């Protein structure tokens, strides 16, 4: 089996003794796939495991140059891309255009603007996808299953099909897919190239809603009669054993004690997100502010802890959004806070054990994205939680389709409805909370990284 992702499973860095150390890579895909790599809990079968990814930073690039990209049991290939080319592929096309497109984040009267600079960046995207396809074609064994991930690598399926028709390929998108009206925002030739490439292999999504949006987009661009390999839905779930192990660690116990000191006998309203425009963090604060205005009985009795990780800081939109998030929290604190109560605590430490401690302790978990492929927090939180906490979840998160019967919906744009949902969640009687939390754990437990990978392998053609 060969896994293909933009970010690799390990980050390399030069150590003092001039050797290279490998540490766990970041991001949702890596968290999902790493437990499936031999040596990390995956023992079934004897098949070879290979992983192709880009060298992300100077440490990775130095390890490639020194021939030091070695991980026991894994045939790891890191592509040493020209940094300028890589920026065009990652920052300009993948993040500033495809991410915005699939999450509906464009301010259409103003942007995007597809000019010469964008066309040069698109050439970079094509070149990076071709580099990935070249390595796959060279390194894959006969008829080997190849699982290509995400919008960074949407041209890879078509390129690999041409070079190596023997390979069994599937493409899996972890984001939503935009749909037939929005796909037309892209320049027509580019929308066609993306859909034509993906149509050569089975394409998977976390929910049938995104699979349908993809199929409708492809039909819109290529015509209803164009041949396409059917798409499929295969939701990912968290790894219960890995979460249990982390929950029991000393680092999590230390983080839990620190959190306990902060929250005390108040209720904990928690969110845990990358600072990304799709996560809808500001409206979450506004809904909480509205709750405090409409239901003054909650003042001083709740703490909203927002565990937020900085992300994609090379993009101005992300830097500006981070400022907006800070200002929105500061405003609520200034208007509603008292000498012994800070309504919102923003924590940007990016510490996984601290997040796990938050998951265990929350009374209400807020997940209100404007759009999200799945949202793993909505599944990890309920598995770890020990207090029959309530999940308030946006129907625009892919996970909603699986969890809807055991969550409270929150409309991502409706501040009044959001405040009402938070009030209902905070006020829910203990027996109702216990029923929802139990059902939620059962629903989350239906899918694990292992079952998900198995589904992908079964679909690969």
Q: Which tokens in the block code for residue 283?
A: 């409206």
Residue of the chain from 27, 202, 381, 449 that contacts ligand F6P (CB under 6 A): 27
Residue 67's CB is within 10 A of a number of other CB atoms, namely: 8
Residue placing its CB nearer to ligand F6P in the complex, 170 or 268: 170
DSSP 182-230: GGGGS-HHHHHHHHHHHTTS-EEESSHHHHHHHHHHHHHHH-TTS--PP
**7 lines the binding site for ligand F6P (CB under 6 A):** yes
Q: How far is the CB of 369 from ligand F6P (least distance, A)?
A: 11
Give the span between the Cα atoms of 426 and 364, in whole angstroms. 7
Q: In what order do the strands lie in the sheet with 302-309?
A: 344-347, 302-309, 267-274, 364-367, 390-393, 408-409
3-state secondary structure of 458: helix
Taking CB under 6 A as the criterion, which residues in 156-215 touch ligand F6P? 174-175
Q: How far is the CB of 45 from ligand F6P (least distance, A)?
A: 25
Residue placing its CB nearer to ligand F6P in the complex, 29 or 156: 29
Give the span between the Cα atoms of 94 and 56, in whole angstroms. 14
Interacting span for ligand F6P (CB under 6 A) from 23-31, 67-75, 180-188, 387-395:
23-31
Choose among 353, 357, 427: nearest CA to 390: 427
Interacting span for ligand F6P (CB under 6 A) from 22-30, 154-162, 212-220, 321-329:
22-30
Q: How far is the CB of 89 from ligand F6P (least distance, A)?
A: 12
Chain residue whose CB lies nearest ligand F6P: 28
- The site map against ligand F6P for 90-109 (x = CB under 6 A) is --------------------
Q: 3 has which bridge partners? A: 51, 147
Q: Count residues contacting ligand F6P (CB under 6 A)?
A: 10
Q: How far is the CB of 152 from ligand F6P (least distance, A)?
A: 7
Residue of the chain from 150, 239, 322, 402 that contacts ligand F6P (CB under 6 A): 150
Residue placing its CB nearer to ligand F6P in the complex, 150 or 363: 150
Choose among 270, 445, 291, 268: nearest CA to 368: 270
- Phi, psi dihedrals of residue 30, rounded to the nearest 5°: -65, -45
- The site map against ligand F6P for 345-384 (x = CB under 6 A) is ----------------------------x-----------
Give the span between the Cα atoms of 399 and 401, in whole angstroms. 5
Task: Write out the residues near ligand F6P by the rule CB under 6 A.
Answer: 7, 27-29, 150, 174-175, 311-312, 373
């Amino acid at each position: 089996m060969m896994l293909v992702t933009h970010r690799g499973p390990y980050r390399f860095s030069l150590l003092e003794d001039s050797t290279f150390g490998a540490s766990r890579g970041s991001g949702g895909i890596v968290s999902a796939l790493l437990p499936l790599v031999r040596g990390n809990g995956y023992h079934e079968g004897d098949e070879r495991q290979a992983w192709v990814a880009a060298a992300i930073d100077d440490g990775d690039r130095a390890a490639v140059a020194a021939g030091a990209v070695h991980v026991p049991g894994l045939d790891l290939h890191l592509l040493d891309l020209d940094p300028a080319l890589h920026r065009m592929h990652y920052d300009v096309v993948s993040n500033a255009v495809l991410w915005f497109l699939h999450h509906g984040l464009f301010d259409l009267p103003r942007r995007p603007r597809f000019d010469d600079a964008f066309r040069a960046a698109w050439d970079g995207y094509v070149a990076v996808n071709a580099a990935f396809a070249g390595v796959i074609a060279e390194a894959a064994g006969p008829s080997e299953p190849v699982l290509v991930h995400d919008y960074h690598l949407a041209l890879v399926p078509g390129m690999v099909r041409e070079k190596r028709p023997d390979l069994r390929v599937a493409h899996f998108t972890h984001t939503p897919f935009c749909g037939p009206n929005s796909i037309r925002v892209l320049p027509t030739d580019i929308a066609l190239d993306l859909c034509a490439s993906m149509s050569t292999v089975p394409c998977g999504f976390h929910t049938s809603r995104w699979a349908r949006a993809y199929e409708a987009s492809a039909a819109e661009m290529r015509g209803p009669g164009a041949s396409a390999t059917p798409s499929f839905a295969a939701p990912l779930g968290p790894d219960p054993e890995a979460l249990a192990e982390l929950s029991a660690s000393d680092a999590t116990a230390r983080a839990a004690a620190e959190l306990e000191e902060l929250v005390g006998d108040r209720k904990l309203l928690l969110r845990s997100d990358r600072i990304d425009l799709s996560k809808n963090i500001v409206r979450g604060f506004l809904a909480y502010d509205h709750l405090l205005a409409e239901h003054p009985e909650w003042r001083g009795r709740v703490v909203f802890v927002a565990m937020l990780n900085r992300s994609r800081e090379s993009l101005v939109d992300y830097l500006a959004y981070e400022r907006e998030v800070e200002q929105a929290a500061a405003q609520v604190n200034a208007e509603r806070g008292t000498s012994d109560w800070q309504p919102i605590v923003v924590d940007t430490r990016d510490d996984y054990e601290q997040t796990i401690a938050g998951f265990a302790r929350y009374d209400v978990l807020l997940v209100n994205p404007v759009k999200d492929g799945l949202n793993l927090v909505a599944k990890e939180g309920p598995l770890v939680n020990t207090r029959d906490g309530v999940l308030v979840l946006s129907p625009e998160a892919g996970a909603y389709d699986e969890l809807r019967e055991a969550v409270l919906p929150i409309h991502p744009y409706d501040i009044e409805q959001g405040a009402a949902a938070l009030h209902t969640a905070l006020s829910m009687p203990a027996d109702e909370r216990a029923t929802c939390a139990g059902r939620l754990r059962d629903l989350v437990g239906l899918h694990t990284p292992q079952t998900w990978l198995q589904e992908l392998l079964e679909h690969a053609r």
